Structures are given as C-alpha cells and as structure tokens.
Structure 1
Amino acid sequence: MKQSAFFITGTDTEVGKTTFSVLLLDYLAHQGLRVCGFKPVASGATWRHGQLENDDVMALQGASNTAIERHKINPYCFEPAIAPHLAAREAGIEIDFAVIHNHFTQVASRVDCVVVEGAGGILVPLAGERLTIDLCLELRLPVIIVVGMRLGCINHALLTEQCVVSQGLRVVGWVANQIHPNMGYYEENKATLIALMRSPLLAEIPYQHADKKNIIWYKGEVFNHD
C-alpha cells in the first residue's frame, strides 16, 4: 500500500501520539523512504535561541530523515500549554487552515511520506467552530488512532473511530499504548477493543518503551511501500 501521509490522533492528550509518530517515522525510514513529521499546531513551548521550541515538534524533526525548516513542519506554535484555540486567542492569532494546507503541501512535495500529528483528540477546537476533524477533512488524510490504555479507553476509542468514519475518512487502524504499568485487566481491555473496533490493531507499545526495538507491530505491512 502506497500512502503518502497519515494523520495521527489520540483518544486524549498525553496518550503517546508523539511516541508512535516517531516510531512510525523510523519504520518508514527503514524502508528507504524520505519521511518527515508535521505538527500543524503545537502549544506548550519555551523560548530557546530566540524562537519558540515545542518538545513534540523537536522529536518529530529529529525522527525525520529529510531536513525541512521547523516553521514549515510546524506552522503554529504557542507558548502556553493550553488548548490550541485558547493559545491562539491569547497570542492574537487565528489559526488559518489554508496556511496549514499550504505548508503541508510544500512538505509533502519533498518527501515520500508525511506523518502528521494532531493536537489532543479528534474534536479539539482549532479555529472558531473548526475542529481537528475538520483539518483532517481539509487535508484528506487517513487516520491512525493512538489509544492510551487506561480506564475509559474503550469508550474514548470507539467514539473517536465513529467520529472519523462518520465524516467519510478512513481509519487505517489503532495503536495500544500502555501508559500505566499496572492497568487492571489490560489484556481484557485490549481484547475488547480488538473485538469492537472496526479497524485493526496496528501496533502495541509496552509501558515506557519508546525504543523502536520494543514496539510490537501487528499490521506493519499496511505501511509497506512495495
């Protein structure tokens, strides 16, 4: 399957979207592809060397094997670690989807595959009444859902998948990220998700294992560019 970009969303914030995005970039790069991470909107940044730096953006840039200017892969970066639409309002800026689309197109023209990481979940507000799902529609990208495995994740995962599918977008699959070391009934929760999700389990990330050697790929072939 040859897909030139994927949109990574999550069941919540802090569920491992960046961790998986970095692992996916590495996986694709090892197929000999030119890859680049793309973070349309980032909040929670610090001033370094005269510019705002966001840790997620830095991680994506570090995992990319094609050198592209940071402002191109991250059109909007805000200092406060708050919801993007609130951070933009505080900065006196309106997030413009046309700007994001333009930057994405420029990045995509220079690589074989772009891994786009969203902010928070699929219904996070970005600009006015426009949500993250609207950005997915703007870019027409297939979606991968990172599920933070904790109490409540089944409901969150099913709602996220239903939301994406209802808008006519394709869910490539989902990723189980073990964010708590001692989650009760972890395997049972995972089995329930496998049974109820329409899309397949692509990969599993054991607790605190961002190392590419420790990710368990179940459907890695969907990313193959043979």
Structure 2
Amino acid sequence: MSLQPIFITATDTECGKTRIACGFIDLLSQQGFTVAAFKPIAAGCDLLEGQLKNEDAQYLLKHANAKQSYQQINPFAFAPPIAPHIAAAQVGVPLTVEALLQAFHNIQSVNADYLVVEGAGGWRLPLNSHQFMSDWVAQQNMDVILVVGMRLGCLNHALLTVESILAAGCKIKGWVANTLTPEPMPYYQENYNYLNEYLFSVHNIRCLGQVPYLADGESAADYIQISDNLFAPS
C-alpha cells in the first residue's frame, strides 16, 4: 500500500501544528495503523551529535511508529529561527519544489499506511523568490487539515487561509481549534462558533476537534475525532 499523505498546516506560525500532527499520529497508531511522519523544512535547529535537529521534528520522530531516521523526517534543517528561505540562502541550500519532491520520493520507501506531513509556518511559506510550499502540496494533491490558533485575529487568518487552500485546488479534510495559552482567548466560544458554522455552511468543512492548552505528556489525540473515511483518497 502506498503512503496516504495528509498535510497539516496552520493559520500562522506557533499555532500548534506539531502538537496536532502528533495527535493525529497517535490516533491512527491507536487504530492499528503504521504511521510515518514528514516535516521537510525546519528552521531553528540545534546541533546535536553532529547533526542539525529541530525540536518539533524530534517530537514527530518520537510519536511516529514507522521505522524512520531523523534525516528522513526532516531533510532540510537550518540553524537560525528565521524564515526558512532566508536561512537556506544564507547557507547556499537550494530550497525548491523540485527539492521537496525528491525528499518526498525518498520517504515513499518507508513501510507505513499513512504519512502525516507537517508544514512550516503558515500555508503560503516561501521556498524562494517565486515558489511556495503550498505549490508542492498542491502538486502532490495532498489533502489538508488546518490548525487554527485560537487567538485574536484568528477569524481573518482562518478565512483567508481556507480561501487560499481551496484556490490552490486542495481539499480541506477538516480543521482543529487549538488553544495556545493556559487561559483561552477572550470570547473563545463566540469565535469558535462563528468559524464552526461558517466553514461548515459555506465550505462543508467540519471541525475535527477543540484542543485545550496541553501540558507536557498530554496528547491532542484525546480531543480529536476522525471518521472512517477521513484519510481515504479524495
């Protein structure tokens, strides 16, 4: 069985993509599936044992139950915590759709049922002066799950991101409301209700879960619901 990919993106950076991606990995693993992880690009990496490694990618490696190396999960790792295309230019690494495609082909050899792919930053992450990570996702016809960081401004960010994903020709399998701080945003319920009603009534996009602020060791899997056909090919 070829790997069935699902792409996790967010309304902005620091919205909890990794936490939610690990939650989906945990949920699928609990259902008996073998799940691989892929975070092709990461900036803000530390040099560990002679290799640049990103904390988020290491979380994915810990949760995925397929046999993978760190290099397979995160082939493009950059030290400075800045926009990846700037970090890549500083070290002379070509960051292109074609480079992502090659890394994606490499991970296809992993023996797994599903592949959870985590983006970097938001949906329209620049790779270079004229290409975006979203170009690669659309080219591969990946289904998308949108993580909405529940904070002031999330309505505008969520609606614009949804419009951009759909305009690229991608299918949104659902969205997740993710609480980013110990205390929920003011008027959380009103903001959630608006997004939930609008996205379903206008675009038929369902909310897959409301995830509270999680302590270390807690899994978003406890707050996510997936249907039998969620990960079926579109």
Q: TM-score range by the shorter chain?
A: over 0.9
Retained in 1: the 8 A contact 2:42–2:76?
A: yes
**Whole-Å separation in 1 of the counterparts to 2:35 and 2:26:** 9
Output aligned runs, 1:95-134, within 5 Å: 95-109=95-109, 110-134=111-135
Retained in 2: the 8 A contact 1:201–1:219?
A: no
Retained in 2: the 8 A contact 1:203–1:220?
A: no
Give the AA of the match of 2:193. A
Offset of residue 224 of structure 1 = 6.5
Retained in 1: the 8 A contact 2:5–2:142?
A: yes
Retained in 2: the 8 A contact 1:31–1:224?
A: no
**Whole-Å separation in 2 of the counterparts to 1:182 and 1:36:** 32
Aligned length, in residue pairs: 224
Give the AA of the match of 1:200. R
Q: Indicate how the Cα distance of structure 1 residues 196 and 77 shifts in structure 2: closer, same or farther if over 3 A, else same.
A: same
Q: Does 1:139 align with 2:135?
A: no
Q: Indicate how the Cα distance of structure 1 residues 212 and 82 shifts in structure 2: closer, same or farther if over 3 A, else same.
A: same
Q: Does 1:203 align with 2:209?
A: yes
Matched with 2:195 is: 193
Retained in 1: the 8 A contact 2:26–2:221?
A: no
**Whole-Å separation in 2 of the counterparts to 1:122 and 1:207:** 23
**Whole-Å separation in 2 of the counterparts to 1:224 and 1:97:** 24
Offset of residue 216 of structure 1 = 1.9
Give the AA of the match of 2:130. E
Normalising by structure 1, we get a TM-score of: 0.92
Cα-to-partner distance string for 1:132-164 (whole Å, 9 max, x where unaligned): 211211322011100000011011011111101
Matched with 1:57 is: 57
Give the secondary structure class of the aligned counterpart of 2:60: helix
Q: Point out where structure 1 has 5 or more consecutive residues left out of the alignment.
A: none
Greater shift, 49-58 or 93-102, is seen at: 93-102
Q: Indicate how the Cα distance of structure 1 residues 50 and 118 shifts in structure 2: closer, same or farther if over 3 A, else same.
A: same
Q: Indicate how the Cα distance of structure 1 residues 151 and 221 shifts in structure 2: closer, same or farther if over 3 A, else same.
A: farther
Offset of residue 73 of structure 1 = 1.7
Give the AA of the match of 1:211. E
Output aligned runs, 1:61-100, within 5 Å: 61-100=61-100
Q: Point out where structure 2 has 5 or more consecutive residues left out of the alignment.
A: none
Q: Indicate how the Cα distance of structure 1 residues 211 and 220 shifts in structure 2: closer, same or farther if over 3 A, else same.
A: farther
**Whole-Å separation in 2 of the counterparts to 1:11 and 1:46:** 26
Matched with 1:9 is: 9
Backbone CA RMSD of aligned residues: 1.9
Normalising by structure 2, we get a TM-score of: 0.89
